[in-house]
Every structure is written in C-alpha cells, then in structure tokens.
Structure 1
C-alpha cells in the first residue's frame, strides 16, 4: 500500500520502541491496527459505492436501451395493426355503402306485388259487370 520494504518497517519499529517504551508500544500498535482496519474498510466502502454507481449507470443505460427497443417494437406493431385495420375499415364502409342502395329499391318492389294482387280483384269485379251486358243477357236466355 505504501510501498515500504521490510527493512524500513523494522527501522520504524525500533524507533517506536525507543520513543514509546515497551509498556505503551502494544497499545499503540493495537490502536494503529484498528485505525488501519477502519481505513481499509472505508476505502472498500468507497470502492463499493463507486462500483454501485457505475453499475447503476450501466443498468440505467441498459434500461433506456430496452425502453427504446420496446417503443420501437410497439410502434411497428401499431403500424402493422393500422395497415390491416385501415383496409378493413374501408371494406366495411364499402359493404355498408352497398347495403344502403339495396335497402332503397326494395320498398318499391315490395309495393308492386300489392298492385298485382289488387288487379285480379278488379278483374273479378269486372266479370260480373260483363255478365249484365245485353249480349250476355241474350246468351243467358238461350
């Protein structure tokens, strides 16, 4: 970490032993060990947080890419549905337009059979009138 060789560490230990004394040296070494452990944990936490942020950025980029892909798929599906729906709507409109002219002529055609039905009644009523004519009366007497 600090790029210190073994001989340099030995020199630092001898100086600490002379300055601190043999009674306080174990306490100081323990305290320095705890501080070094805390510093390493803090550094690991910082590295982990940085890594999480980088992963979060990558996940957000991936999420945006997936969202764009989903939007493009959705728009292409909508275009496909519309390309099918529009001709079907046109065909449906054409069929409804065909039904409208067929409905209009059927009313006069339905009225004509009534006229034909009325004609035989008038001819039947005309026959008795013809029976009362003088020519028919002479024929009836004979």
Structure 2
C-alpha cells in the first residue's frame, strides 16, 4: 500500500489497540473508513473534472481546426438534407403522374391511345393467305381452363373463309 509490509502493519495495529483502547477502537476505525471514503470521493470528483476539462480543450481544438479549414463544409455533410431532397423528387414525380392521370380521366372526349381495328368482312381483293395471317394471332390464343372457349362474331367469318 504505502510501502508498509504485514509485520509493520501488525505493529501499528498493536500500538493503536494499546493507545486507543479496545472500547474506542471500532468507532475510531469506522470514522477513519468514512474519512477515507470521503477522500476517495473527492479525488474521483477532481479526476472527473480534470478529464472533462481535457476533453473540452480537445474538442475546442478540433472545433477550431474544423472552422479554420475553408474546404470542409459541415452543412454539406448533413444526411437529412440528402434524404429530404430524394423525398421531394419522389413526391414531385408522384404528383406529376397523378396530374397526368387526372387529366386523362377528366377528359372523356379524348380519343383512346390506340383503338383496335377489326374488319367485319374481308375486302374483295384480299387472298386467303392474307386473311389467315391476320387471323393467326387470334386463333393461336388458347383459352385458359377457367375461361370458356367463346369466339366472337368477327372471328367466325374469318375462320370460315380461311377453311373454305
């Protein structure tokens, strides 16, 4: 502890027992323990204050270095700004798509983008090969198991002409 070995500590304990007496020795040791606890508490508090001052001085130095460096922009390192800009871009795209959809929905007189062209009867000058090539995509589409096989009125004459 303080360079005191066990035989020296034993001599101190015997002298304390003789000088103080066996009745007052426990009270004296208790008060000495409280005093040591207070001293340790004050030492740890002092050490904590010194450490805090050292940390504060280091932080001040770092802050001075960061503010003195003109090439480093701390505002540009803010990740929330990047997130906000990405969200605003997404919101703008969504609003634009909603406006386009609303414009198409609100104008019922506008022509559809592509209307299917179906001929009721083939022209007189067309051959059966041309008719079958037009009817091939319709004939190739097989109905699924859940859909009934229904042919429209326009498909029946094309198939009849192709077969005939």
TM-score band w.r.t. shorter chain:
0.3 to 0.5
Please state which structure has a larger fraction of its residues in helix: 1
TM-score (norm 2): 0.41
Greater RCO (Cα-Cα under 8 Å, separation 6 or more): 2
TM-score (norm 1): 0.47
